[in-house]
């Protein structure tokens, strides 16, 4: 991660703007208002903020990406295959071996596996973290995407504060078209609230410090209510496919372990009958796929509000743990045979 001063301007001129990009006009009323806000509320220098925003580019590709109508939602079995493949599991096993000490510091094994799953699903363990400048993404969406301009204006504000706090160059920081950053894809406000300095170097670095990345994802889940020793989901079976007796809208836990059993859902858990739960219904290759989600399922939906996302994270984390255990056992067996 760059250690340049937040507002250090590049020595070389920026490349010529592409036809699909235009410099942000700092004379616009809403941009001037934003600059004054940063000066008044956060003690930024007016000229420096203006100079920085003049380097931002409004990109049509960002507006196209966020405005694109949702594509056909893939069935669960196809969605799962995007993430549960040999390459990603192999990457995960290598990552787990390399960072085993930090992962072992997470005392709850299920939480550690979930952190692995999130990093694998989000960015293939840091391999794919985004190609847009965060400054461009947030400035574009803050001032030229009316449906969510207030949200992204706040994220732009948080990004500038974050850049000052963590001493990163906002002109070099890359992320997603929506401004999500680093291996865990934190937006600016989440970065400031939940990122931790796990390696103790005085900086919360979600690009260059895997200790910070792992610790920050674990912290995010813990702050949002993770319960150690409890599962995320468990397989379930129904005697029939009549779902009219269930409230399936939303991701909230509207049932309990007992109420689901009363509705003839068969599943195994050591959680008490009063534990909050929900039935998850997905489209499997050969018919409906059922699971029961518990408190930690809901916690992971706070990271990404999708049941399929949570199941993919869960399954990938478990697959990595199984493959890691098999590799360890095979290695140990080879050593014993050689004696």
Find the catalytic residue in 122, 155, 255, 321: 122
Strand-pair partners of 175 = 132, 181
Compute the distance between CA of residue 163 and CA of residue 179 in angstroms, rounded to an integer.
Answer: 13
3-state secondary structure at position 226 = coil
317: left (phi over 0), alpha (psi -120 to 50) or beta: alpha
Question: Cβ–Cβ contacts within 10 Å for residue 139, how many?
Answer: 28
Compute the distance between CA of residue 202 and CA of residue 253 in angstroms, rounded to an integer.
Answer: 39
Give Cα 126 distance to the centre of its chain: 11
Whether 122 is catalytic:
yes
Structure tokens at 8: 């250090």
DSSP string, 76-99: HHHHHHHHSSHHHHHHHHHHHHHT
Cβ-proximal residues to 64 (8 Å cutoff; 6+ apart), any chain: none
Element (H, E) at 290: strand 287-293
3-state secondary structure at position 271 = coil
3-state secondary structure at position 287 = strand
Cβ-proximal residues to 272 (8 Å cutoff; 6+ apart), any chain: 257
Compute the distance between CA of residue 303 and CA of residue 294 in angstroms, rounded to an integer.
Answer: 15
329: left (phi over 0), alpha (psi -120 to 50) or beta: alpha
- The DSSP output letter for 252 is S
Q: Where are the alpha helices (DSSP H) in 167-240?
A: 188-194, 210-223
Structure tokens at 91: 């990457």
Give Cα 25 distance to the centre of its chain: 31
Residues labelled catalytic: 122
């Amino acid at each position: 991660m760059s250690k340049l001063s937040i507002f250090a301007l590049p020595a070389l001129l920026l490349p010529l703007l592409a036809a699909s990009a235009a410099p942000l006009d700092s004379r616009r009323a809403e941009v001037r208002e934003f600059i004054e806000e940063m000066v008044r509320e956060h003690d930024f220098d007016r000229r420096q903020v203006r100079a920085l925003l003049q380097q931002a580019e409004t990109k049509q590709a960002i507006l196209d990406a966020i405005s694109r109508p949702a594509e056909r939602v893939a069935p669960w079995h196809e969605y799962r295959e995007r993430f549960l493949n040999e390459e990603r599991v192999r990457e995960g096993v290598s990552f787990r071996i390399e960072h085993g000490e930090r992962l072992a510091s997470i005392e709850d094994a299920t939480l550690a596996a979930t952190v692995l799953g999130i990093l694998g699903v989000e960015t293939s363990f840091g391999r794919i973290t985004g190609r847009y400048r965060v400054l461009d993404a947030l400035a574009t969406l803050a001032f030229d995407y009316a449906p969510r301009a207030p949200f992204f204006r706040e994220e732009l504000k948080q990004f500038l504060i974050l850049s000052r706090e963590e001493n990163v160059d906002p002109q070099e920081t890359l992320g997603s078209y929506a401004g999500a950053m680093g291996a865990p894809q934190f937006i600016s406000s989440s970065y400031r609230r939940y990122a931790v300095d796990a390696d103790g170097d005085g900086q919360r670095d979600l690009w260059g410090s895997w200790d910070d990345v792992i610790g920050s994802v674990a912290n995010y889940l813990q702050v949002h209510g993770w319960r150690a020793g409890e599962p995320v989901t468990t397989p379930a079976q129904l005697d029939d496919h009549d779902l009219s007796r269930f409230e399936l809208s939303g991701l909230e836990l509207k049932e309990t372990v007992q109420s689901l059993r009363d509705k003839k859902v068969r599943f195994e858990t050591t959680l008490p009958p009063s534990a909050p739960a929900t039935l998850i219904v997905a489209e499997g290759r050969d018919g409906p796929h059922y699971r029961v989600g518990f408190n930690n399922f809901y916690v992971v939906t706070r990271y990404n509000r999708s049941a399929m996302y949570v199941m993919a994270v869960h399954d990938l984390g478990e697959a990595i743990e199984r493959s890691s255990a098999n590799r360890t056992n095979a290695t140990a067996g080879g050593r014993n045979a050689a004696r």
